[in-house]
């Protein structure tokens, strides 16, 4: 698994997001078209595991909070960046989403929640902010940012 292969795996997700407002309707659409029990969701999750094992994904941070940008925003990604975090029972640093955030939540502990969400998609609209929080175990969270925009505030 390398970045090029991962980009190809992410292509259908990026295509599903392109040109759509980053809002609750997008969240509902992704949870319908790429639900957590779908083959596409499973392929992406396995690709994350393979990339983490290869050492190029979630290469920053320490045990309990590993992270890293995987794909920079570019015309071929419809200006979306892709980051992945591996979090265990943690409240992360406060940040703001100037252009929104689309999150794919992959609990690694069955009961794990990301900002109160279990397996599936959650969308934070433009201008939203939060301290990303994982409770009840460990979760991988893949997130796409329009323009790669994120503002850490704390």
> How many Å separate Cα 91 from the centre of its chain?
16
Q: What is the torsional sign of CA 47, 82, 123, 151?
A: positive
The residue with tokens 């499973």 is 42
**CATH code of domain 3-152:** 2.60.120.10
- Taking only the tens place, the pLDDT of each residue in 11-37 is 999 999 999 999 999 999 999 999 999
| Low-confidence residues of the chain: pLDDT under 50 | none
pLDDT at position 149: 97
Q: Domain ranges in the chain?
A: 3-152
Residue 81 contacts residue 72 (beta carbons within 8 Å): yes
Q: What is the pTM of this model?
A: 0.97
């Amino acid at each position: 698994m390398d970045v090029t292969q991962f980009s190809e795996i992410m292509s259908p997700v990026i295509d599903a997001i392109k040109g759509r407002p980053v809002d609750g309707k997008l969240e509902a659409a992704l949870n319908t078209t790429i639900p957590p029990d779908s083959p596409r969701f499973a392929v992406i999750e396995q690709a994350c595991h393979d990339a983490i094992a290869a050492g190029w994904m979630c290469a920053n941070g320490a045990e309990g909070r590993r992270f890293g940008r995987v794909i920079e925003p570019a015309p071929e990604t419809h200006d979306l960046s892709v980051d992945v975090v591996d979090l265990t029972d943690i409240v992360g640093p406060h940040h703001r989403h100037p252009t929104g955030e689309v999150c794919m939540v992959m609990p690694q502990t069955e009961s794990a929640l990301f900002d109160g969400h279990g397996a599936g998609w959650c969308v934070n609209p433009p201008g939203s902010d939060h301290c990303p929080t994982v409770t009840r175990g460990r979760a991988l969270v893949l997130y796409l940012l329009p323009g790669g925009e994120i503002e850490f505030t704390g």
